[in-house]
Structure formats: structure tokens, C-alpha cells
Structure 1
Amino acid sequence: MAAFTIAAGTGNWFSALALGVTLLKCLLIPTYHSTDFEVHRNWLAITHSLPISQWYYEATSEWTLDYPPFFAWFEYILSHVAKYFDQEMLNVRNLNYSSSRTLLFQRFSVIFMDVLFVYAVHECCKCIDGKKVGKELTEKPKFILSVLLLWNFGLLIVDHIHFQYNGFLFGLMLLSIARLFQPSIFCLWFKPQGPRGFLRCLTLCALSSFMFGWHVHEKAILLAILPMSLLSVQKAGDASIFLILTTTGHYSLFPLLFTAPELPIKILLMLLFTIYSISSLKTLFRKEKPLFNWMETFYLLGLGPLEVCCEFVFPFTSWKVKYPFLPLLLTSVYCAVGITYAWFKLYVSVLIDPPVGKTKKQ
């Protein structure tokens, strides 16, 4: 509950948002989980049962410990809590071991570690200026940013359905960004560029790394989506880029959840998040030009027919046996177009936008 009391200065609404998303995460506990569930269980067993010298050499399971030492020590600490839930999960030879207590521990460990992410979001909200403050709470940039980060669709399905520990790691990233925006000697080092210029470049670098092969996992798109959320509530142009990036980037995560029971869950959660993102940012920048042109609108609407074809039409065609990879191919190519387009718009904005506090004439 500590995560829900940190926002006293911001108001009860932040606590409500954090509590609400935590309850949603609890409801997702029984859902499908990927092989990463067994990966992390095995790492718990390795770090708990073996001396440090054997951590990176133990190969009883195919899921050997291959993350940096920081994460190995993280698993070691978790293992000392796990032993109170089910000691058998810490046996290296219990391959593919699963029990109700193991499931609860693994799921709740991810939820608990999100406390750092919640705190980081709270700190990031302090960095948002109040120039565009609406009369209603739901129109305030800080409220919108909190929803975009705390209820991020991609982070929900990757961590709390697919199963990983990205939340607290992204929390460290957002906390670092928040500290750059806060007055200090360190921020002065970035004075010529400004912290927002730094954030824009950071987002561009993360997106470039994702596009050009630095990381092959789909979840890496979140490295760009999350910091882009901070920019989206400050400027209409950035809001437009964010909406294109987050919609296509999140849809590209759909193949991670390929089981039938999770189909309505992922569709509903993405629809809710996407509709909120578009409507809230349109309201925030209603006095400026539309966030999408006709081409962008047509492209984003095309995701609907694409989903219908891949999930509801293709399985009943003769191509399902001959070309089983076709839906994944179509999804990847279609999303690649949108992400590339967002990257190009962000790249152009980095080059031509004036520094914060200066006009284009200056």
C-alpha cells in the first residue's frame, strides 16, 4: 500500500489510478503466461540453491541464467521470499515446475516491484508544467500523463500476462528522466540542449535502436513509447507522433498473446487505452490543428480490418495450413510502416524544432 500514499501532494486521484491498475493486474493473475515464467522460476532456483561461482554455468535447464549480475542478485533476493510460498520451486531439477503458490508468488512479485514504477510516474508528473491546465481534472496534463504511464497497455500485457519484470526497470528509467528535469547542478550540464531536448533525443535513440536491430524482442518498443508519453502532453506535434507510435507499437505486441482466452482481453484493453489516449490528447490540444491528417487516420483505422483478417478470417481459410506465418508477417509489415513513419516525424522534429523557450524566429 506504500505505493498508493506517495501521491498526497498530487491528490487522491493519483492514488485511485495506481490502486485501480493494481487491481486489474491482480485480475490478470490466472491468465496465460509464456515460457518466461519457467525461465524466471529456474533462475530463482539457481541463485538460491547454488554458489555464485556456478550461477552462470548451471545448465540442467535450457533456460540458463544469461542476464547481467544485477538481475541475478535480484532473483537471489526474490528467492528468499519464494521459499515461504513453495520450497519446491527452488529445486534446480524441478524443470517446468508449477503450483498455485508458485503462480501467486511469481505474479505478485511483478506487481510488488511495480511500486518503483508508480513512484517514478509520480515524480515525472512533477515535471509537467501547468500551462495547459483544463477546468476538469481529466483535462489536466498531469492526470493524462499518469493514465498513459500507469495504465500503459504494452506494459500490462508484457509483464502481467506474458510475464516479465520490465515495470521496475522502466521505473528506474523514468526516475532518471524525472531527476534530469528537476533543478540541480547536473541539469546545468545539459543547458544548451535542455532536458526536453535530451528527452527527445533519448526517445529517438531508443526508437532507432529498436528499428535497426539492437534488440529483437517486441517489448523493446516500450523503450520509446514510455518516454514519448512525457512529450505527448506538452506539445501537439509530439502528441501526434506518440499516438501513431503507441497504437502501432502496442498492436505489434498482439502476437505475444496467441491463446484464445486472451484474445478478448488484449483487444478490449488496447481499445480502451487507445480510445482514451486519442480522446484525451485531442481534448488537451483542441485549440490547435488536428492531431492526424487524412493519411494517418486512414492508416490507424486499417488496424481494425487487419485484426479481423488475422484473427477471425484467416483461421477458416485453406492458407492456414500452407502459410501459417502469414498473419504474423502482415502484422509485422503493417506495424513497421507506422513505427517507421513515427520515427521519421520524430527525427524531423529533433532537427527543426526550436529549443525550449525560443521561438522559431529567434
Structure 2
Amino acid sequence: MARLLLTGGAGFIGSHTALVLLQAGHHLVVLDDFRNRNPVALKRVKQLSGKQITLVAGNLNDPACLERLFRGGPYGIGGSFDAVIHFAGLKAVGESVKHPLLYWQVNLEGTRLLLAAMAAAGCFSLVFSSSATLYGMPNQVPIPESAQIQPINPYGHSKAAAEQLLADLAGSSSCWRIARLRYFNPVGAHPSGLIGEDPAGIPNNLFPFVSQVAVGKRPELLIFGDDWPTIDGTGVRDYIHVMDLAEGHAAALEVLLAGAPQLLTLNLGSGEGHSVLQVLRGFEQACGRELPYRIVDRRPGDAAITVADPSLAKALLGWRTKRNLAQICTDGWAWQAANPNGYR
């Protein structure tokens, strides 16, 4: 089995992926600065898997930390990594508009420093956490990987720049095995209710906001527009269960490690869209009661429909989503009901 470094592995997607990788028999080292994450998540991953994780508290923007990590140093890790799965980064669109310098520093410069450390240590396999935000206002739906890259906020621009850096790197040498995974809308939680999404402050995304309304932390759900050209007038998105997403990372890693050097660019989504109201109704069924909501004006920059074309991931990885909206809502409610204040 492989020896893996997960950057940002204590986060929502990282912790679920860590669990899947541990269950597959891999050995994990997690690097995290816990800026927006909680180490309790990894304690619960250990509980679920019955296996150990080596945890290093550190920052990607610290070259000395990366050098010690890849060369063993005082962390007592020793040896080299077979691959890196790079989750670490900032992802709040609104925050990126207010603090673009921070987003470019963490999401692009942090990635550059990581790649330099990998190259120096002779580690050339990387699974990169990208985003469907790159597509901006899509010109076609479902969205293929060949769609135009046209981000509309600093977060999206920082991810697009990191993707370009990876393409330049792959073109500069025949050593690199890289998968750029463009997530659509990760939601849900592990069915145990032990690990899930724990956003700091007011959630930026629909699903954790609905969850917090259901548990009584928020008075109502705000729905941004009911006059979109969709099935019920509310925005439609491609929601992917976080466990499906985690399994997608494991599949990408397997293909990279078994194959020749290559650059893969893949959408990870279900290929099926659900409206805001459909998600709301699904969550009402999961929690067993009606949830209050209010229609407000549209938000600038929102699209009517954003749905993935995931056919390339199915063809190249043999991967597809297995869990539907009902399971997403059931698992999400199991997490939120058992952890009304998240990991705190």
C-alpha cells in the first residue's frame, strides 16, 4: 500500500477521504494548520477506521516546515511519500473577494511551495483539489472538462492559476503524475454521524445552512430567487455525497500510481441536478419536520443551473456516484443532529 501525504486532511473532504484511504490499507501523514478545521475530525477518523494517522501541525506557506516534512526532520516520519493529495486551501467566495491577497498566497503560493518540496524529494504523484467554480457562468450544461475556464471571483481565479501551474509542470517533465479533480457541490456526511461538515461562522453553502436551520441554529433558510428558468424557479446544482467524492480521490490515486506519467483533468459530480427547493424537501423528510424559508433577491454571479458531465471520470477511473439525494440528506441530518455545534 502507498505512503501518502494529505495536506488539509482534517477538513470536510479531507477527513472523509482519509477514512476511505485508511480502510484501503494506505499509510497516512496529514499536514494541517487547523485554520478552519478541527483535529477532533481526525480522532474520529481513527475511531472509525481503527488505524493510526501521523498528524503534523504546520503551514504550506512555511518552506522550512515542508522541507522537514519531506525529509523526516524532527517529525520523526522519515522516508518518502508515494503521493500527495492536496486539499489545503481557502474556499469561501465572499472572503476571497474581501481578501484576495490571502487567497492567492494560500491557494497558489502554497501550492507552488508544495510542488517545489515534492520535486526536491523525488515525489511526483499528486491529486489536486480543484473546483467547478472554474467554469464561472457555464456556456453549456452538463459541463464537460473542455468547457471554457472563466472564473468570476478571486477564489476561482486562484484555483485556475494553480491548475495552470500544474499543467506547466506536467509539460516541463515526463516525471509527473497529476490528477486535477474539479468538484461540484460536496454535501452529506459519513453515515455514522461521527464526521461531517463543520463550517466556521455563517455557512456559505446551501446544505450546511439547511442543516443548521433544521437543528435550530438558524431561524430560516434564505433562497436567492424563485424566478430562475428551472423546474421550480430555484437554482439547480449538482450535489455529490462526500463519501462518493472521497472514493473518487481513491480511484484517481489508484490510476495515477498504476499508470504512466500523465495529467488528468476530471469533473467529480453526479451528472444530476437538484433545485434548492428539492434539497429543502429532502432534508425535511430526513429530519421529520417542515423548515422555514424565505425568498429573497438573486445574488450577483449565481447561475441558474450548474451540473457536471462526469462521463470522463467514469471512463478513466471506473468511478461514478452511488448515493442519491435521499441518502445525502439522511447522512447529513445524522451528523448535524448528533453534533449540533459541529466538533466543538
Q: TM-score, normalised by structure 2?
A: 0.24
User: Which structure has the larger Rg?
Assistant: 1
Between Structure 1 and Structure 2, the one with more strand by share is: 2
Structure with the bigger RCO (C-alpha within 8 Å, sep 6+) is 2
